Chain A
Amino acid sequence: MQARFRPLPVLFVLTAAFGMAQAQPGASSNGHVLNLERFGAGVPGGWLLDGNGFTWEPETGPGRLGPGAGRLHFGDAGRIEITSPAHRLEPGRPHTLLLWFRSEPAGASLSVSLHDNESRQALAFEQTVTATPEWQQVRMTHALPEALKDCYYLRLSASGANTTLWLDGLWLGATDAELPANWQPAWHAAAVVVAPDAPWGVVAGNGPLRYRVRVAGATAPGARLQTRVVSTTGETASQPALPLDTTGNWIGAAEISGDIANRFGMFRVEATVVDPSGKALSPMTETLLARAPEPFPAPFRDSYFGIHVKLTAPDLEAMARLGYKWLRLHDASGITKWGLIEPEPGRWVWHDDEVALARDKGFFILGMLDSAPAWESGAQEEGYFSIYSAPKDPENWRNYVQRVVAHYKGAIDDWEVWNEPWNPMGFFKGGNPQRYTELLEIAFTETRAINPGAVLVGIDTWPPYWDAMTLAAGAYEYYDVLSFHRYDPGMHGYPNDPIDRIAKRLRTAQEKYGKPKPLLFSEGGPDVTVFHGSFFSFAEPALTGDWSWCADQYARMYLTTIASGIQRFFAYSVHNHTHHGHSTHMMVEPGPLPRPLHLTAAALAHFVDGAAYVERLRPAHDISAHVFIQPHDRPYAAGECTVVVLHANGLDPEPLPRPVPGDVACYDRWGNPSAPPTEALRSPVYLVASGDAAAALMSALAPAGPGAQP
């Protein structure tokens, strides 16, 4: 394989060595800051691939850099867009971008550009070229303009009609401003891409952690795939090497093995093609897998766990394995929004298959009675917000409610009236509390008439003025459940935390009009990507945050929902995956692949879904022990048991005043068996006991001493 390389003059090799900047985190051994170099194996984990009308195969014949180029065939009108993960680069420093390409017949179009990760503006390396049958190289050296967070992503896009485009030899790195004309980096011979077998890489319970492997360009005898697995429990394990053939196009599969495979949590599979001496023949690439503890059986209407997700089979399957039981439609699927389902008067678009799919997977659905088509509202604007104006004619709204509630009766029996109506600049243009109350009354009255068992969710507040004014306008009579939204990356779960305060405020607000009705946290979460965390090794903390913190925060957000007596929490969202590092509310990696926060929520769901919340004990002032009674048989106990979710209220470890009794089963934040804790941590842990052991546990956690009063 190496023999196919054009020998590089010594001068150029030295130039390369001196010209390249010090290797950056995640950078390849040849100074390339990204891990997609040769295109034959596809795009590695963390890269976003989009497009249509194309096929992608490895080129096994000789190419500009030997076998291993990517061969992309475009049909009648094919296009592809490849976006790198965001990386921190040094602004002001010269960087060079290289990319080999050709097409047969000529005519495929190829564009490259480097973007500011925050503004998404193209800042450098903008070029569009037309490919010919001869290999050409994109070759540019630019001093990088400043980006808002010094983080950048690379975008490649190509299109063509009935043509084949070869891509190879992508290289981006810091160099001298002036490079010899024929300077080339020390190209790797091969490429490897690993991808999980399971949807989103998520398995539940004892399912095998399988992944698929494709290696391109490895033609040297004795080459093998070297793999290492890293888990969120802090373990690492080398996996048995996989021998490769010499075809230059090896496809295989493997399963994480050894003790590490038995853990709950997330796993990063890091793969590199090496020669018999262990020398890397490819950049290291990676993928993510996850094992969630067995979820509570679905369907389960009283579940605490909701999510926003697209109604597609893989996404629903992954969410089901993570323990989510409820879906809220909204952006993830606007299939009940008036503005989308009656595009012209009298023409209705129904989505029965998607709804049936979700129900078949065991989910309950919170539908949205929401929005108005522009033909009705008179909205002039285009785009996302074009449907979010208040309807002009209440009778048209009544007709919409009648139609959609009747159509989905039995499949969707829970309806929320309008998304974020408190925002008159966005979701409820032309609206006000009085107008909302009118729509709510109609929705409530018609829904009751058509589907008497249905649950109507109303108010959907955030700022206190909204619930105060809608209630004052008479809204109290026209909902069964009062909803609110909250995005807050704080470490919740302590007494009187912000979500608990919201619950108290909303109960108090309702008392003026009658008995407080149940509360629903119908949308929210830790907010954007910096509060999500990522388990990719190349994740930039300034963009994706600290995954361990985020994993604790997310589970504690569900926990405080439960402790505050709120019915459930719908986290927003996983319905769209953009490039890695993009600041978005989407709690998902490209692929899609999971983030660790879903696995701590899955562990919480494993232990507490189906259980009744009893009380919060405070063994010390800064420790919370949330007590649940689980009446169902679960993998951790046969028959009724007590489950305690234990955590420090703040960020610091707090010593437990009394030891946890020895016959209490203890589990870490992922659901793995663990030693009894001696201190409460930021991370929630689970203590499970039955009978006498449960009584002993309660004694151990009882408030004691000065300063421990509840």
Chain B
Amino acid sequence: MSRKGLVCLLVCLACAGARAQMFPEERDGLNALLGQVESSLTSQTPPLWSLFSPLGSLAIVDNGAGRCTTARREELRRDSGTAEAFALPRGARATFRVYETARELMTGQAIFESPENTHWLATFAALPDGPGGAYRLTALCVFPSDQLLSPEGSQDAVSVVKEWERVVREGQMLELRRHLYPEPFLAIMGKGGMELFLYVDPERYITMARYAVEVGRPEISEMSGIRVHSNGAIAAVTGAWKAPNVVFGLGNYRFTALLLKTDGAWKVAGLFMGTQTQY
């Protein structure tokens, strides 16, 4: 990665992280998880599957030249070949980390840097459902970040995410079906009261979202602070979304979307959304 590119990425992540207000124990928990992820990716210890929650999991890696591997926890556990696809060079370190909190659903990004000065961007989502309340991954997406597209060059991925803003306002949720990655797929929606809705099937996600919008269609649906990182094959889009709903409350959400380019079209494989921290 060029120095300028790396600086831009760091500034971008730092700006995102500046909004995050976390309890120290939350930050410590995520640091511990990232430490384990770093060890797992570089030395396969602990095994990557063991860092994922069984409630729902999504792992994505770009092995270069646009070759993506996707997996769920169970595939990582049963198939060593799949797990090996997620290996980073020994000695790679998470050099910069930024966390977002959407109540108990945590998201974040980290830059991994190898001793040879190559870089990867890791985007993750996590829940505190591990032993003793430890954080476990629900999603991990890793791709080389030395040749990121410019934000302007990634607007086609952003425009897919912006479809949510429109269809919720218009009550046309089924229009999102064509933007959803069929398998693996994972969406986690956290609402006030620390309650989660978790979907591993796009059809179920879209159906439930449709009915939620029918019960209480938001009059406002606005996204802001959208940031995108993409290498052309994978995109990670983060931002804020305001969509108040009679069932889901005030609707000030943070979101992270993971998109894969398939047959020339961006599709959302992971969507993680939760109400913004109020403390």
Contacts and interface: CB of A to CB of B under 8 A. Distances in A.
A465 B216 CA distance: 15
B7 interface: no
Given A463-B249, A530-B203, A651-B200, A502 B195 contact: yes
Contacts of B207: 527-528, 530-531, 583
Given A489-B208, A531-B204, A652-B73, A501 B130 contact: no
Nearest to A496: B129
B203 A528 contact: no
B59 to A, nearest CB: 13
A706 B208 contact: no
A201 B131 CA distance: 45
Interface string B68-84: 00000110010000000
A489 B248 CA distance: 16
Contact of B131 (A501, A527, A706): A706
Interface in A632-654: 648-654
B174 interface: yes
A44 B114 CA distance: 65
Interface in A459-476: 462-465
Interface stretch (B28-36, B50-58, B162-170, B225-233): B50-58
Nearest to A654: B54
A537 interface: no
A707 B174 CA distance: 41
B192 interface: yes
A621 B131 contact: yes
Contact of B203 (A490, A496, A542, A707): A542
B247 interface: yes
Interface residues of A, number: 43
B265 interface: no
Contact of A545 (B74, B197, B204): B204
Given A489-B208, A490-B197, A652-B73, A462 B203 contact: no
A463 B208 contact: no
A294 B57 CA distance: 38
A462 B131 contact: no
Nearest to A462: B247
B177 interface: yes
Nearest to B207: A530
B211 interface: yes
B15 interface: no
Contacts of A541: 203
Contacts of B246: 422-423, 425, 463
A709 interface: yes
A542 B207 CA distance: 10
A528 B53 contact: no
Q: Interface centre among A546, A583, A652, by most B CB within 10 Å?
A: A652
A118 B207 CA distance: 11
Contact of B55 (A488, A489, A649): A649
Interface residues of B, number: 34
B193 interface: yes
B8 interface: no
A637 B215 CA distance: 46
B249 A465 contact: yes
A489 B211 CA distance: 12
Residue from the set B54, B130, B194, B247 with the largest chain A CB neighbour count within 10 Å: B54
A487 interface: yes
B24 interface: no
A251 interface: no
Contacts of A489: 199, 204, 208
A587 B215 CA distance: 20
Contacts of B54: 622, 648-652, 654
A83 to B, nearest CB: 21
A518 interface: no
A488 B248 CA distance: 13
Given A489-B208, A652-B77, A464 B249 contact: yes
Contacts of B87: none
Given A491-B198, A530-B204, 9 more contacts: A464-B193, A487-B208, A490-B197, A527-B211, A541-B203, A583-B207, A649-B55, A650-B55, A651-B55
29 contacts: A118-B174, A148-B174, A422-B246, A423-B246, A462-B247, A463-B249, A489-B204, A490-B197, A494-B55, A494-B129, A496-B129, A498-B196, A505-B194, A527-B207, A528-B211, A530-B203, A530-B204, A542-B203, A583-B207, A621-B130, A649-B54, A650-B53, A650-B56, A651-B54, A651-B56, A651-B74, A652-B77, A707-B131, A709-B132
